[in-house]
Amino acid sequence: MTTPAAPTSGPSSARPTAAAPATKLASETAKALQTALAAEQVAVWAYDLVAAYDPADASLIATIRTGHLARRDATASLLVSGGSTAPIAAPAYSIPKPVTDVASARALSTTVETDCAAAWRVVIGSTDSTSLRTSALAGLSDSAVWLTQMKMAARTVPVTVALPGVS
């Protein structure tokens, strides 16, 4: 896996780290982390598609993608160090609607960030580990910030959501 630069925006602009768990991850925690990892893998893939249709926001999209790469790698490391399996990314993913223009690309970014925030919210509730909850909160916060930034680029109103990760 690559070692990407840290994102330059967002509340947790420090590179995500995978603090090794003191013990084997509990089954519920491992499952939640695997779901979050899958969401991050989708995000990395999806932002390549978004970038192809939204060249005007290339810098923002690259920053967001880099953040998802870092979080993906840290999450995979955390799973492995906790004695769990880190599923590998698929070569491609199904998306809810075809991406055919800038608007549909930006809609995909909304879906991706909403899914990532929801996955990290579940991780927060699946563990009592302060370091793991801190990492999951950073993932949720980053997705909320990136969602807001993409909505601002699209001039979508409202630009924020009250409770990121909650449908």
Low-confidence spans in the chain with pLDDT less than 50: 1-11, 13-14
Considering the domain boundaries, does residue 75 fall inside one? yes
Q: Give the pLDDT score at 18.
A: 59
Considering the domain boundaries, does residue 85 fall inside one? yes
Tokens of 26: 């509990």
Q: Give the pLDDT score at 20.
A: 55
Q: Give the pLDDT score at 111.
A: 96
Considering the domain boundaries, does residue 88 fall inside one? yes
Q: Give the pLDDT score at 15.
A: 56
Domain residues for the domain of 44 are 27-153
| 16-62 pLDDT per residue, tens | 765 556 579 999 999 999 999 999 999 999 999 999 999 999 999 99
Considering the domain boundaries, does residue 13 fall inside one? no
The structural domain count of the chain equals 1
Length of the chain: 167
pTM for the predicted model, two decimal places: 0.87
Q: Residue 71 belongs to a domain with what CATH number?
A: 1.20.1260.10
Considering the domain boundaries, does residue 15 fall inside one? no
Q: Give the pLDDT score at 66.
A: 98
Q: Give the pLDDT score at 133.
A: 96
Long-range contacts (CB closer than 8 Å, 24 or more residues apart) made by 63-67: 63/7, 63/8, 63/9, 64/7, 64/109, 64/146, 64/149, 64/150, 66/4, 66/5, 66/6, 66/7, 67/6, 67/7, 67/10, 67/142, 67/146
Considering the domain boundaries, does residue 96 fall inside one? yes
Considering the domain boundaries, does residue 95 fall inside one? yes
Q: Give the pLDDT score at 25.
A: 95
Considering the domain boundaries, does residue 17 fall inside one? no
